Structure formats: C-alpha cells, structure tokens
Structure 1
C-alpha cells in the first residue's frame, strides 16, 4: 500500500470521525434539552445560569483562573466570575444563549461528560489536574468542535473575571479613567 493511500485513508477516517463526533455532540445537546436533563429554570440568584450549570462551572472556573489570582481568595473570585458570567449570558441573543446552554448540557450530562472530558465522576469530585487535562485535550483536539468549545469556555470565563474590578490590580490595569 502506498503512503498516499495510507494518507488518504487516514484523512477519510478522520473526516468520518469528525462528522460522527459533531453529530454525537449535537444530538447529545438536543437530547439533554428535550429529555429534561437540562432545565431552563435559572438557579436562585442568577438570571441566566441554571442549577445544572453550576457544578461544572464551580469546578472549572478556579482551574481556569489559576495563576490570575493575586491576593484574592479563589472562592471569592469564583463567585464573582460566576455572577459576571451570568450577567454576560443574560445579555446574549437567545440563539447564542441556547448554544452556550447546549455546551453546558453536554459537559454536565454523565453520558457525554466521561467520553468527552475524561472525567467520569461528577464535577464536584473532579481534581484540578483532571480538569487541566480535559481543557488541554479540548484546546489541542483534532476536532474543530472541541477546540471551539474550549475557546468559548475560555473567553466566557476570562471575560467574566477580567470585567471584575478585583482582577485589575493583578494585571496592572489601573481601571477606567475617572471623568
């Protein structure tokens, strides 16, 4: 078998796998929404975040902010980031909010969480090293959909954190000019 044939087969196999993975993720998100695994009811004290979103976010936010917190307790930063994220989500278009919720649903459902993240236990039991590994896997995935998921998560969390005045001193930002 020639090297070109092997390359053609691997590209074809990768393409088939990518299409299958995309279909799987889309189906899982829709299934979660339709089966009641996800709720459209918001969590108490939030405008857009749902109770089902919180375990994942409470596990992943401290890991994503690791190294960005200077003199701020992780729990306080996580709570501020959650509320900043909620505020940002509440201002999204309905379609973008729906897509974000589908991402959270796929990451929250046990049937999809394990295969996609490598974290088989509930998010509350995930170790920071496991979460870092999952984030690295998604960031460097050969699947565009997983890379987009990582990018979306990263942007949402970092925008929510760096919109907080408590984060500014750690990055040398003096704050907006006083008028």
Structure 2
C-alpha cells in the first residue's frame, strides 16, 4: 500500500513568524519606495483599464515564455496582445484587495532594487532573454520562500487563464469550443 499522506514542511512557529515579517517588510519597503519614486503610478496605460505602463515590460517578457510551445512564433505578437487584453479584463474584475496585492507584485518586479535580488534579472525586462525569464520562473517555483512560490503561482494563473480564455488557444489543447445554443 502506498503512503498517501502529505509531508508537511518542518516549519516552526518562529520560522513562520520570520517568513511573515520578511514578506511584510519586503512588501512595505517596495510599496513605499514605489510610491515615493513615482514608479507605482496608479494610472492605467491608454487602452487598458488596470495595466500600467510600468507593468508592460514584465508582462511582455513573461507571456511569450509561458506560451512557448502553445503558440507558433509567427502568431506570438497577436497572442501577447490578446493575452494582455484578457489579463486587463480579469484584473479589472478582481476584488479590490486582490487587485492591490497583484499590483504590489507587479511593482516589486518593476523596481530594479527588488527585481535583481528576487528574480536574478538584473537588467531591464526588455533586455531579459527567454532563458533569463525561464530561470526567474524556475527560481520562484522552486524557492524555499513561500511568498515567492505564491508569486509564481499568481503570475502563472493570471497569464494562463488570460490565454486559455481566448478562442485561438482552444485548438492547441483540443477544445472544440462551447456548444452552439
């Protein structure tokens, strides 16, 4: 018989408090720095309801890496544009608290002072290669810090839901589309 119990991480109360304090300090510092530097402009970019100018370099570098293999290279630009539109629509319909946390994540990833140490991408997102982006995603997915793993899961879910809600993505996964009513 197989053991089906989940192994629970050996996390003491002290370790949990340390992780919580570290995460709070990181988010607080990043939010304050973004606010004071003007990096965290709450004004959406023209044509979007939520996505800001500062969010686009990250998203435009991240989406092609996440969609690699699902989208032919000749159609990637159209897929990025459509995914961004769907992502913006989804973000616009989040609860205010979830939206605030998502924008904080984008702010942390947009600021050079936090981007380098957290992601390993020390230059701007526009100059990050697909390999750099994949290394960043792998780093966060396999991190011992639960806050980074949650950030990875959030980014992955946001992008994938935005892509797979588009009709042009359905053929790749064998979905014929909704039935005609």
Return the TM-score normalized by structure 2. Answer: 0.87
Shift >4 Å, 4+ stretches: 11-17
| 1:104 correspondence with 2:106 | yes
| 1:25 correspondence with 2:38 | no
| CA distance in structure 2 between the partners assigned to 1:72 and 1:25 by the alignment | 39
Q: CA RMSD of the aligned region, Å?
A: 2.1
Aligned length: 171
Question: 1:59 matched to which residue of 2?
Answer: 61
Encode CA deviations 1:10-31: one digit per residue, 9 max, x unaligned: x799668634531342123321
Q: Which of 141, 144, 159 is residue 142 of structure 1 equivalent to? A: 144
Question: 2:94 matched to which residue of 1?
Answer: 92
Relative to its length, the structure with more helix (as a share) is 1
Question: 1:159 matched to which residue of 2?
Answer: 161
Go from structure 1 to structure 2 and tell me whether the alpha carbon gap of 1:94 and 1:19 turns closer, same or farther (over 3 Å shift): closer
In the alignment, structure 1 segments of 5+ residues that lack a partner are 1-7
Encode CA deviations 1:76-112: one digit per residue, 9 max, x unaligned: 1111100010000011111111110000000000000
SS at match of 1:114: helix
CA contact (8 A) 2:50 2:92 kept: yes
Return the TM-score normalized by structure 1. Answer: 0.87
Encode CA deviations 1:123-169: one digit per residue, 9 max, x unaligned: 00001101100000100110110000000000000000000001000
Map of 1:68-79 to 2, 5 A cutoff? 68-70=70-72, 73-79=75-81
Question: 1:172 matched to which residue of 2?
Answer: 174
| CA distance in structure 2 between the partners assigned to 1:169 and 1:78 by the alignment | 17
Encode CA deviations 1:25-83: one digit per residue, 9 max, x unaligned: 21233214431221000001101101110011001110011111147611111111000
In the alignment, structure 2 segments of 5+ residues that lack a partner are 1-9
